Amino acid sequence: MNPVGVFDSGVGGLSVLAALRAELPHENFVYFADTAYAPYGERGDAYVIERSRAVVEHLLRAHGIKALVVACNTATTAAIHLLRAEHPNLPIVGLEPGLKPAVAASRTGRVAVMATRGTLASAKYAALRASFAGSADVRQVPCDGLVKAIEGFDAAGISALCERYMNEAGPFGNGPDDVDTVVLGCTHYPLVKDELRRHAPASLRFIDTGVPVAQQTRRLLASAGQLAEQLAEGGPGNLTLESSGHVTVLEAAARRWLGLTMPTPAIPATATTAV
Ligand code: DGL
């Protein structure tokens, strides 16, 4: 019953954790928010690689994780190939902006991708985008500052930045020149979807990848013979929350965005995990 490790630069990966817990209710999860080092998205690959390595070492050493979900588009694009090479026996699932389902769903053929600057500048994203060249008009919207505002519970900042970036992503609608589908290419953004929606017609489609990532995690666990429901009878799995910042902030985010009940097991209220 070793846990599945999930990490992000901060609270954004909670949007993925919600889908994971729904898809895999018997698994134990440990969620690590690298809050003391967030945001990742405007800092460059070397920084993100170093932090990703440190967090994964911690999750392996302290928790013996049996699988890893990199619940962060930025860390996936910068580091997942290295993590896979360094931990060949650890099943690892990453995230990339959901361009494929967005292009498939769009009727106007115009799609906007909201993501961090780091994700949009990466070679991995360039390759993804190139694979849809000719089949859709794809607009990139780097959302500088939005992660920081979400991490800080800065309601005024979130509101202003959502308005600004939705203006850049549009115009929205169903006409031939309109964007009808927006990819939320950073795991923080689904947490503010209601705020984003305020600046768009009800028909606008948002795509995020929490559910497919959870399904892929199930497939990997099953093929490794590691699915909890195969190993143990019984009820819902445990959740452990850890943060390199203050875990109380992470708990507040989990309460606010996921409706999780606290306290989480075995974590002192003021804990900070040095990694
Ligand atoms: N949540 C992360 C992502 O999906 C990025 C956040 C950050 O900039 O730290 O890209």
CA angle 116, 10, 239 (to 5 degrees): 135
Asked whether residue 230 carries a pLDDT value surpassing 50, the answer given is yes
Residue 266: φ, ψ to 5°: 65, 20
Are residues 19 and 73 located together in one domain of the fold?
A: yes
Are residues 106 and 55 located together in one domain of the fold?
A: no
Structure tokens at 224: 């490794």
Choose one of 116, 161, 184, 189 to mutate for the ligand 1 pocket test, by most ligand atoms within 8 angstroms of C-beta.
116
Number of structural domains found in the chain: 2
Choose one of 16, 31, 50, 74 to mutate for the ligand 1 pocket test, by most ligand atoms within 8 angstroms of C-beta.
74
CATH of the domain at 240: 3.40.50.1860
Are residues 27 and 58 located together in one domain of the fold?
A: yes
Give the binding-site residues of ligand 1, using a 6 Å CB cut-off.
8-9, 12, 38-41, 72-74, 116, 119, 147, 186-188
Asked whether residue 197 carries a pLDDT value surpassing 90, the answer given is yes
Are residues 217 and 84 located together in one domain of the fold?
A: yes
Give 3-state DSSP helix, strand, coil % of the chain, rounded to 5.
Answer: 45, 15, 40
Choose one of 6, 7, 8, 122 to mutate for the ligand 1 pocket test, by most ligand atoms within 8 angstroms of C-beta.
8
For the segment 162-180, the average pLDDT, to the nearest whole number, is 96
Asked whether residue 170 carries a pLDDT value surpassing 90, the answer given is yes
Which pLDDT value is given to residue 97?
96
- Of all protein residues, the one whose alpha carbon is nearest to atom 2 of ligand 1 is 72
Asked whether residue 61 carries a pLDDT value surpassing 50, the answer given is yes
Residues linked to residue 5 through DSSP beta bridges, in sequence order: 30, 68
Residue 252: φ, ψ to 5°: -65, -40
Percentage of residues in the chain having pLDDT higher than 70: 93
Which segment of 117-121, 183-187, 235-239 scores lowest on mean pLDDT?
235-239
What confidence tier does 232 reach under pLDDT thresholds 50, 70, 90? low
Domain range for 251 is 4-95+210-272
Asked whether residue 269 carries a pLDDT value surpassing 50, the answer given is no
Active site residues: 72, 186
Are residues 177 and 87 located together in one domain of the fold?
A: no
What confidence tier does 146 reach under pLDDT thresholds 50, 70, 90? very high
Distance (Å, whole) CA 153 – CA 54 = 26
Which pLDDT value is given to residue 235?
66
For the segment 209-229, the average pLDDT, to the nearest whole number, is 93
Are residues 119 and 171 located together in one domain of the fold?
A: yes
Claim: this prediction has a pTM higher than 0.75: yes
Are residues 182 and 228 located together in one domain of the fold?
A: no
Asked whether residue 90 carries a pLDDT value surpassing 60, the answer given is yes
Distance 97 CA to ligand 1 centre (A): 11
- Full DSSP string of 87-143: -TTS-EE-----HHHHHHH-SSSEEEEEE-HHHHHSHHHHHHHHTTTTT-EEEEEE-
Are residues 90 and 214 located together in one domain of the fold?
A: yes
Distance 271 CA to ligand 1 centre (A): 23
